[in-house]
Amino acid sequence: MKKQFFSLFILASIISFSDTEISTPTAEELYNKALEYQIDKNYREAEKLYKASMKLKEDPDTAYNLAVLYDALKNNMQAENYYKKAIQLGQNKAYYKLGYLYSSQGKKDLAIENYKKSIETTSSPYAMYNLGVIYSEKDKDSAIKYFKMAISSGDKLSYYNLAVIYDEIGKDDLAEENYKLAIDNSDNNLAMYNLGILYENQKNNKKAIEYFERAYANGVKEEIFYKLGYLYDETGNTKKAEEYYLKAISQNNDEFAMYNLALIYDAQNRLDEANSNYLKLLEKSKNAKAALNLGGNYEKQKKYELAEKYYKMAIEYGDKEEASYNLAFLYQTMGKPELMEAYLATESGKNNSAEVLYNLALSYDNAGNKENAEKYYKQAIEKGQSTKAMKNLAILYYEKGQKENSLIYYKQLVDGYNMYEEAYNTGMICNQLKQKEEALKYFGISYEKANNKNALYYLGVINYDLGKMELAKKYLKMAEKNGDEAAKLMLEGME
């Protein structure tokens, strides 16, 4: 093309000006024309003219512009060659561009070398900034050094990166200072957002809200709605929390916002709205807590079949203990303990908690099915040493007239679990079984450990039965002082 161009140009000259001397473009003229083509992004024509200019004169600016041209065309090899040529010819600003080229290729050592040369020869704040970025990954001290250098050289963007470094290494005061400088110098919306996070982590919710609101006003949308919703929620402003949770759901389909908004509606007894959000969430993910809470709401609304469905879903999704407990309580409310028993026989119901077994036993107990109640109280005790199950089983045996069995569990409660409030009943059964010394022991515990003054009368009576008159009088007098009429009558009979 070059030969054709000049051939045509020469021919025209000859035709038009046959009597004049033909002139050849200078290196400078070729350079200027190439520059016009480059500005217009006509890179191929620019390339030809730059090369023609270089043949006439090896110029550092021409070499540099050729390198920039090849850089734009992603011809990295030629770009590298001409940046090096430009440097060789004295164009020091090529160090920065060569460093950037190496950095984009992942050649960090070569990038660092050339950025440092750029700083030495041209004091380039961009080279300082980019060195800071490279060192940010593994050498925080060097990163801080170069970001500070860039700031001193007028680069305001480095405030943000410097703040991020301080944030990462836990220097909150310096991070805060530099985020604020980034905001003051360039309205950096990411600095506003990160400063909001910093304050959030410090539990300074008021400041966090302020900077998240500023970030939102300046264009940050990613996660900002949920964060603002959460912070307003934490500070008790449920109206604003609801507003931002709704935005997080509509804009980002945010699952956390769905769950937290449902909790707000739960607390306000807006159960239908809460249920709607739990259902949306469950369409997206297997959220056990959402299923559990949904089951609870349906139970409150007496929609027992739906409550059962979502309690079982919560169990399936991993919240086995609480959901199983609620399911057992639901069946208890429905008066259908056999449904819980059937569930426990399934694969999902195996290895359930002592609390679930206790509730099942209690359901049977309340329904009058003492045989099944006994069975599941025992399982609850075996599963988790449930003291509630022990107590109810002791009562059940006592009501059935099986005092020896009842006594076993009462003694366990007192001796094994320090439930001294049960010592009185333990003493009563011992006395009924003619176990006088044991009765004295437990009535003594009842009085001394549980401050049960009713035990004083029996301490007097049993000591009387054992022929220990002085002790009998002592306890009966103590009982009389507490208003015990039976003790008073007995003392009168002993006179």
pLDDT in tens, 108-150: 999 999 999 999 999 999 999 999 999 999 999 999 999 999 9
Q: Tokens in use for 123? A: 């004091």
Cα 70 to Cα 59, 127, 143, 495: the distances in Å are: 17, 21, 30, 123
Confidence of residue 346 (pLDDT cuts 50, 70, 90): confident
- When pLDDT is averaged across residues 267-276 and rounded to a whole number, the result is 97
Task: Give mean pLDDT, residues 297-324.
Answer: 93
Amino acid (1-letter code) at residue 96: Y
Helix 140-152 and helix 158-168, axial crossing angle in degrees, nearest 10 = 160
Q: What percent of the chain has pLDDT over 90?
A: 80
CB–CB of 430/438 below 8 Å? yes
Q: Which of 6-20, 40-54, 80-94, 335-349 has the lowest mean pLDDT?
A: 6-20
Q: Which residues contact 164 (CB under 8 A, 6 or more apart)?
A: 136, 175, 194
Secondary structure of residue 386 in the 3-state scheme:
coil
pLDDT score for 350: 66
pLDDT of amino acid 23: 73
Residue partners of 175: CB distance under 8 A and separation at least 6: 163, 164, 166, 167, 194, 198
Q: What is the pLDDT of residues 220-253, one digit of tens each?
A: 987 899 999 999 999 999 999 999 999 999 999 9
How far is it between the farthest Cα atoms of the chain?
Answer: 163
| C-beta of residue 478 within 8 angstroms of C-beta of residue 457 | no
Given a contact cutoff of 8 angstroms between Cβ atoms, the answer to whether 111 and 103 are in contact is yes
**What is the DSSP-derived secondary structure letter of residue 169?**
T
State residue 347's pLDDT score.
67
Say if residue 199 is exposed, middle or buried (CB neighbours under 10 Å; 0-12, 13-18, 19+): buried
- Residue 365: CB atoms within 10 Å: 21
- Cα separation, 13 vs 32, in Å, equals 22
Taking the whole predicted model, whether its pTM rises above 0.75 is answered as no
The length of the chain is 495
What is the torsion angle, in degrees rounded to the nearest 10, for the CA atoms of residue 285, residue 291, residue 292 and residue 297?
A: 140
Q: Which amino acid is at 50?
A: Y
Tokens of 39: 């500005």
Average pLDDT along the chain: 90
B/e letters for 449-475, b = 16+ CB within 10 Å, e = fewer, are ebebeebbbbbbbbbbeeeeeebbbeb
Q: For the segment 445-487, what is each residue's pLDDT rounded down to a tens digit?
A: 999 999 999 999 999 999 999 999 999 999 999 999 999 899 8
CA–CA gap between residue 297 and residue 230 (Å, rounded)? 22
